[in-house]
Structure 1
Amino acid sequence: MTKPITPPSWRKPAGMLAILAIILIWAILVVSASDYIGQLHILAQALIYLVAGIVWIAPLRPLLIWIETGSFSAPPEV
């Protein structure tokens, strides 16, 4: 059985632009703090950049759910 073709939603391109905006804003924030981070011990720098490299992913889950469902919360499990 084939799934009927549905027209593309405007949420997909809007979501892609939002993801790119999140990445750009996060990168600008991290780069602007690099002068202060660069003065820290090398292990502290590594830890900060490791955390900064992972933290930007947090807002993506609700955004990806919104792109697929139109709601920012996950649908209830059945």
Structure 2
Amino acid sequence: MRTEPTWRIPAGILALLASLIVYATVIARYVPGVIAGWPMWLQTIAYVVLGVIWLLPLKRFLIWMETGRWHAPDDG
């Protein structure tokens, strides 16, 4: 367990916040025009997938914030 503060945590939080703002802005700006003609059920699936997909790189990002490495120590 880490006992001293590190610069990676505040920098990581700010980078995560900035990247989520950019991602949400891109989705809100461009996706509605692309999927406007789709059936409502397909639009719902698209927005659910887009709302969850940002979580995919989050594990490695959180590992980096805590350890300074991009993979868990047991990942090899």
CA distance in 2, matches of 1:55, 1:7: 33
Residue aligning to 1:19: 16
Identity score, percent:
38
CA contact (8 A) 1:65 1:71 kept: yes
Unaligned runs of 5+ in 1: none
CA distance in 2, matches of 1:28, 1:72: 27
Segments of 4+ moved more than 6 angstroms: none
User: Comparing both structures, which one devotes a greater share of its residues to helix?
Assistant: 2
> Which of the residues 53, 56, 59 maps onto 2:54?
56
SS at match of 1:8: coil
Shift of residue 22 of structure 1?
2.1
- TM-score of the pair, normalised by structure 1: 0.83
- TM-score of the pair, normalised by structure 2: 0.85
CA RMSD in angstroms comes to: 1.8
- 1:1-78 aligned within 5 A: 6-32=3-29, 33-76=31-74
Post-superposition Cα deviations, 1:48-78, rounded to whole Å, max 9, x if no partner, equal 001001001111111100001000011117x
Deviates more, 1:10-19 or 1:28-37: 28-37
Number of residue pairs the alignment of both structures matches: 74
CA distance in 2, matches of 1:36, 1:49: 12
Which of these two proteins has the greater Rg computed from alpha carbons? Answer: 1
